């Protein structure tokens, strides 16, 4: 059966990301003009920031520069800003933009490494005090090199990864691991087949 133009567009929109993610981005694109024109431009601006954070946090599902770019283009089209204003901001903040692009790309391609590191911290440190200190030091280290939005994206991404491990345990009849080795066997590094099935699927 020949694929229609509509089906081809839906299938290729944001690559191979999940359908619920595509629908969420489309919902954002529909909601933003409504909030901007009918409710409050101020509220629409903050909503746009939250949507950008969402795209960063969901880097596991889709490379965030694509949906983020759609949101930015829409912001210009509905009048939240102007092309001249964007040009001025690009010229004055080019270093920050490049930093954000490379940091987002780093999170996207190093997500498995980040989850592996935080999982090892969680499994190998038994003391709650030492574990809290280790996470604080890790957060301080990330904050020294990343901007605030990227740090939030890292936290959200690692949290999603932890939830995926919990979901795998719960899906096995609710059996809780009885040893640290059993828990470690659920980490992405040791279950590459399962992890690849949930790896970022939106082509860059």
The most confident of the ranges 67-81, 91-105, 169-183 is 67-81
Specify whether 101 is located in the same domain as 163.
yes
Domain residues for 149? 96-169
Q: Is the same domain home to 63 and 122?
A: no
**Residue 30 vs residue 177, higher pLDDT:** 30
Q: How confident is the model at residue 182 (pLDDT cuts 50, 70, 90)?
A: very low
Q: In sequence order, what are the residues at sequence separation of 6 or more whose Cβ sits closer than 8 angstroms to the Cβ of residue 38?
A: none
pLDDT band (50, 70, 90) for residue 29? very high
Examine the domain organization and report whether 130 and 62 are in the same domain: no
100 and 128 assigned to the same domain:
yes
- Segment 50-67, tens digit of pLDDT: 998 888 777 667 777 788
> What pLDDT, on a 0 to 100 scale, did the predictor assign at position 113?
78
Cβ contacts of 101 within 8 Å, gap of 6 or more: 65
| 156 lies in some domain | yes
> Is residue 196 assigned to a domain?
no
């Amino acid at each position: 059966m020949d694929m229609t133009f509509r089906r081809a567009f839906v299938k290729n929109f944001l690559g191979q990301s999940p359908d619920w993610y595509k629908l969420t981005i489309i919902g954002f694109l529909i909601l933003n003009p409504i909030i901007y024109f009918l409710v409050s431009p101020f509220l629409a601006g903050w909503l746009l920031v939250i949507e950008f954070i969402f795209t960063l946090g969901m880097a596991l599902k889709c490379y965030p520069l694509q949906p983020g770019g759609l949101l930015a283009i829409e912001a210009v089209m509905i009048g939240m800003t102007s092309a001249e204003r964007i040009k001025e901001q690009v010229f004055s903040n080019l270093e920050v933009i490049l930093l954000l692009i490379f940091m987002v790309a780093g999170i996207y391609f190093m997500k498995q490494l980040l989850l592996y590191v935080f999982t090892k911290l969680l499994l190998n440190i038994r003391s709650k005090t030492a574990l809290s200190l280790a996470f604080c030091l890790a957060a301080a280290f990330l904050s020294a090199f990343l901007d605030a939005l990227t740090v939030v994206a890292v936290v959200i991404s690692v949290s999603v990864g932890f939830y995926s491990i919990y979901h795998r345990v719960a899906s096995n009849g609710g059996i809780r691991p009885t040893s640290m080795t059993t828990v470690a066997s659920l980490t992405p590094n040791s279950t590459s087949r399962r992890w690849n099935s949930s790896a970022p699927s939106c082509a860059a």
